[in-house]
Chain A
Amino acid sequence: MADVEIFKHDILIVGTGLAGLSAAVEAAQRGKDVATVSITQAYRSHSSAAQGGINAALANVAEDDSAERHGFDTTKGSDYLADQKAVLAMTEQAIPRILELDKLGIPFSRTEDGKIAQRPFGGAGYPRTCYSTDKTGAVIMMGLYEQCLYHEVPMYEDRIVLSIGEKENKIKGVVAINLITGKLEIFQASAVIFAVGGAGRVFKDTTNSWHNSGFGFVLPYFKGVPLKDMEFVQFHPTGLATNAVLLSEAARGEGGYLRNKDGERFMKNYAADKMELAPRDIVARSIQTEINEGRGCGPDGDYVELDLTHLPAEQILSRLPQVRELAIRFAGTDLIEEPAPIRPSTHYTMGGISVNDKTESEMTGLYAAGECSCISVHGANRLGGNSLLECCVFGKISGVSTSEFVEANKVDDDALEVLQKEADEVEANIQNLFNGEGSEDGFKLMAEMQKVLSKNLGVFRNKEGITKAQETIKDLKERYKKIKVKYTGRIYNWELARLYMLGGQLHLAEVIVEGALKREEFRGSHCRTDFMKRNDKKFMKHTMAHYDVKNDTCKISYSKVDLSIWEPEERKY
């Protein structure tokens, strides 16, 4: 039997970004025995890199804004693949949730009358994005982290969850590796919330953190929980061309222009009305089209420019200090004086672990919230400012749901037995990696996966490219069986951890590819150049990927979209 340490809590949250911390604070306020476990130290999660803001129809700036209008914009932005009642629930709860955050001392930027300031954002009919300069994610996360300190929530850090313990479709807890001791640990819990963030790192050029591997997505999947709509991946229009670090949409919200090599504001040819503030999928495609058609800038013509030079320096310094700093540090350009080179970069995973609007998955006791979940409130394309919102609203809801769940359910007697068995399996997997054949190099396989996905499942897709990716991923899955982890020490063994996770990432890549291949239409972020129209008759449905244990591959089925509030129409801006 594997040598393990055992921890027990009623509610365990995997991940400490905005969703995880929202859940933790809610459960703690309700006096529950709740703990978090995270791959990083608790404050390092990637919500901190979200810059521009968080949407709520507070109507502090535009008086006639409403939750209903916010819901409509979100649904239209989603190209009608979002579930409409869930969307409206989110936009309605946005208002009290932001006011609640304000009372926790989050330092939002303010209006002249001392209320929370709001700025325009892409795809929104009104200025409804609340912000704190361009560090919104960081300050909210800090505020919630501080609340966790107030409530003395136990936070287990430097740990990677490697498996779920489950029996008869009921969760018993998780198995993790503690990087600091190198030992496996069992976390027994009646309710587990997955809040592990995005999966940008299955692609090559991504705005995501090193830790957004997507591995957390496949743990529930391997145990029977479906992944929903994974083919919908958002490419942020303005990743820095040098290293894909995000320059916030706030830069355009504050009035920034996009220009091609001729200095032309090319968005007038794609979205004459909304221009640079069209939704992200449209702006990303427009940029890529300019590049593909030879109007990109630079010696290789592989980027366009984000131009703020017409804005007063004071405005840039006071509202976009971090955007400016990032461009200086990573591209060597000061936005006050010159434009920055940008191009679309993999940014956000619209799909995820399939859950309902209470954040419940199909497995009893397993919940998911934030980017790794899919309710769906973003459908085929997410609007800027709605991701932090989803985390704060549904993170809190998952705290409510799990609190109620643990009140009604006792710990199972067989939990430790199930988890110990699971730990033994994880240990066997680790030993297999240590003792592998070694004819393949794991990190090279990882790079190949990222490259083939970025090349063939990027802003534009077609059958030929996706099929190529399908073959490559299948091949990589076979070759993965021949890798070897060379360093066999246990403590802080990132070679082991990253290559262990690669096994799961390849399955996630497969789910993305299979969904994209079968969805023969153009909807939101999923632009099939061989099927250039949205096809509501055939594809107004969610893709559901189930793990097929026998064949070690995925099986695609579909589920209904909730269209009960707004009638789908053509999406024009």
Chain B
Amino acid sequence: MMSEQVIFRIKRFDPENAEQGSYWEDFKVDRKKGKTLLEGLFDIMENLDGSLAFRFACRAGICGSDAAYVNGKYVLACQEQISFYTGTIKIEPLPFYPIIKDLVIDMEPFFSKIRAVNPFVILKKSLEKEVIQSSEEKELMGNSIDCILCGSCYSSCVTVWTDPEYLGPAALLKAFRFVRDSRDAMTDERIGLINGNHGVWRCHTAFNCGEACPKELNPTEAIAYLKRQAVKKRFSRLFGK
């Protein structure tokens, strides 16, 4: 029999008692087959400490609310089985973001970058009557449409840590999604948007983002594609093509 209880060691911060700073607190949580980290956090909220703050919603790994840094890895708390962990489970808010309370972070730095890449389709004139897009054309977007905006990649990116203005992996993946959308009319302008001082060229191809992504997406690869497009655009301007 595995042990009946497991320790959740949670990094806490109470804004109403801010001078205390961040601190670690241990809670004993019942271990049960099938139980997730998120359910463990609810156990604590309901039975041990009502002050514990975290975000949550769908609890099926779809909404992106509950990304956290657990034993040094990026996870969605709702899709992690407690039974897969041995020993103490260390749970922290996503690193780099300002902390609001406990595991709740201020994601404005992340969302401001998403907004900066004009994340919406501007439809080609030729499609205004009827949209036609082949399956092959749709496939060009790949799984970039599956991003759930959980913010993990942004937290993991070494460039984000050194250049807070850097657009970061999620926003660039978003830009890729629209650059690759056969229905969009703004491809050139989009390349312009991601080609600046804090755009694609700041990516050092560390691949942290792909590793952090709970949806197994690969922003690094998308950024590499955008770099190629940016180069092509420059060459075509030079040689008038």
Contacts and interface: CB of A to CB of B under 8 A. Distances in A.
Interface stretch (A139-147, A227-235, A261-269, A526-534): A139-147
Interface stretch (B128-136, B191-199, B219-227): B128-136
A142 B65 CA distance: 15
Contact of B62 (A48, A102, A180, A495): A48
Interface stretch (B3-11, B20-28, B101-109, B156-164): B101-109
Interface stretch (A82-90, A412-420, A481-489, A516-524): A481-489
A209 B100 contact: no
Contact of B51 (A113, A139, A146, A493): A493
Contacts of A105: 120-121, 123, 178, 181, 183-184
Contact of B57 (A209, A486, A487): A209
B34 A242 contact: yes
Nearest to A331: B34
Given A103-B123, A109-B135, A44 B50 contact: no
Contact of B146 (A109, A135, A150): A135
A115 B134 CA distance: 7
Given A486-B50, A492-B53, A40 B63 contact: yes
Interface string A137-167: 0110011001101100000000000000000
B57 A114 contact: no
Size category of the binding interface on chain B: 35 or more
B71 to A, nearest CB: 18
Contacts of A325: 61
Contact of A492 (B62, B101, B128): B101
B58 to A, nearest CB: 5
A246 B128 CA distance: 36
A62 interface: no
Given A46-B57, A105-B120, A41 B51 contact: no
Nearest to A182: B16
A29 interface: no
Size category of the binding interface on chain A: 35 or more
A537 interface: no
A489 B55 CA distance: 17
Contacts of A495: 45-46, 50-51
Given A105-B184, A209-B57, A115 B79 contact: no
Nearest to A489: B16
Given A109-B135, A490-B16, A210 B59 contact: yes
B149 A326 contact: no
B50 A487 contact: yes
B119 interface: yes
B49 interface: yes
Contact of A43 (B135, B149, B184): B149
Contact of B121 (A104, A115, A211, A326): A104
B127 interface: yes
A550 interface: no
B86 interface: no
A326 B62 CA distance: 10
Contacts of B60: 49, 245-246, 326, 330
A209 B135 CA distance: 32
B30 interface: no
A492 B130 CA distance: 47
Given A49-B58, A245-B59, A493-B50, A107 B14 contact: no
B36 to A, nearest CB: 8
Given A44-B58, A103-B128, A243 B138 contact: no
A75 interface: no
B53 A149 contact: no
Interface string A272-299: 0000000000000000000000000000
Interface in A40-81: 40-41, 43-46, 48-49
B37 interface: no
A565 interface: no
Nearest to B45: A494
Given A105-B120, A139-B145, A211-B57, A99 B131 contact: yes
Contact of B63 (A132, A135, A209): A209
A44 B57 contact: yes
B50 A110 contact: no
Given A41-B65, A103-B128, A491 B101 contact: yes
Contacts of A115: 132
18 contacts: A40-B57, A43-B148, A48-B63, A48-B148, A103-B123, A103-B131, A105-B123, A105-B181, A209-B57, A326-B60, A329-B79, A443-B46, A490-B16, A491-B15, A492-B101, A493-B50, A493-B53, A494-B45
Given A105-B183, A487-B51, A490-B16, 4 more contacts: A44-B63, A143-B121, A246-B60, A492-B100
By Cβ-Cβ distance, the 10 closest A-B pairs, closest first, are A105-B121, A495-B50, A487-B50, A492-B53, A114-B132, A443-B46, A146-B120, A44-B63, A487-B51, A150-B120
